């Protein structure tokens, strides 16, 4: 991965819950030296709308060049290349 790579990350940060997988995904992107385009999903409605729009079951979700990489485990594998 290069510093020129931007990873778009959608993660859940609710008033009563911060998703630990989203926190880890953000840390992995930063550790890889990539730029991050972070989108915070701050209500349950936003989270559900995002999951429905992208046909995914969980957040976080990471994208590179418009291609969905997946959740935090998928992102770890992608960044390890």
Q: Where are the domains of the chain?
A: 6-79
Q: What is the pTM of this model?
A: 0.93
CA distances, 35 to each of 3, 12, 26, 38, 42 (Å): 6, 19, 10, 9, 22
Whether CATH 3.40.50.880 fits 6-79: no
pLDDT digits (tens, 9 = 90+) for 5-58: 999 999 999 999 999 999 999 999 999 999 999 999 999 999 999 999 999 999
- pLDDT class of 4 with cuts at 50, 70, 90: confident
Confidence of residue 3 (pLDDT cuts 50, 70, 90): low
């Amino acid at each position: 991965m290069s510093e020129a790579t931007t990873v778009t990350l959608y993660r859940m940060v609710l008033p009563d819950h911060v998703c630990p997988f989203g926190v880890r995904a953000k840390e992995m992107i930063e550790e890889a030296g990539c730029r991050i385009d972070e989108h915070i999903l701050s209500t349950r409605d936003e989270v559900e709308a995002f999951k429905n729009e992208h046909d995914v079951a969980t957040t976080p979700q990471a994208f590179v060049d418009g291609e969905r990489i997946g959740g935090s485990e998928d992102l770890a594998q992608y960044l390890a290349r």
